Structure 1
């Protein structure tokens, strides 16, 4: 484990009167990564928010893992222009891969699950090769290599298609979650958290 003994760091700014919580950052350290600690910490945060009347959580889905992770947790785009930018990225990359883009895909959660039904898997290396004009472009290769390295992956390591497209997306985005226990977003998060905790227990 980490020599310092820290498992995770989290910072939140609570606007109780506005019933909003801003998740400033969440980091899981060292050997604790991949242990389902992150969804456990987030779940405990949400339960605390429930008690004090917080209704909405806001995140800044930062580069590297954040652009994918918060979408996987059920957060959706706070800003419409960012939704459209991500949808445009998916459209371009899916076209380059010879796959159709479904115009009905609107939420971050729908996008992150692209290719799940057909078990489509790609690597950053594959994405770089099909990127328009990118086969011999050094900057394109460096972008996709950086996406792999920044997420602790080998350049040729295959992963779910939606995950790869989010992790290679070149911008951060703002996301939100309706914390109502019966809201679709909260249900999606609970399903995800439960699956991760079950996996970690195996």
Structure 2
């Protein structure tokens, strides 16, 4: 695998970073926790939100089998083990968290981006074979396999491949080692008692 390194872990907690808007920060500080609603995804992605909502819906269903989802959490909160992966926004803060490791779903950012774009998740060989099938059925846009009803057999193969998103989670929790640099963590909620500090952006 990639360049393995130890995560910042102690006392059953792992250090994670997330970038959140001031509105989210204020809500969390006031109520003690924050969960994501689907309206946030619609606002973030605009006209393309219907596509992304399908990917997020898949994640919500299947990640809940890894870590139990609170009933009011409609989607996940993305966290990272390195601040360099955070998205910068003028109205946002970096939050340094100490989260119980059993509350985190670990996966590769590059793998999630493939799912977000409704693409097959697999080895180079698996992707090459899948691409040949797309050509055979004259599928110009790979996402059509998921969003239309014309390719049920290809959709089954596509969705089955997405289960690979969680393939590193258990080993990371057992070894406390990151097999790839782009490992991120999905959590269902932000809690006040997980906040270690707020960090200023350094541009």
- TM-score with structure 1 length normalisation? 0.27
**As a proportion of its length, which structure holds more strand?**
2
- TM-score with structure 2 length normalisation? 0.27
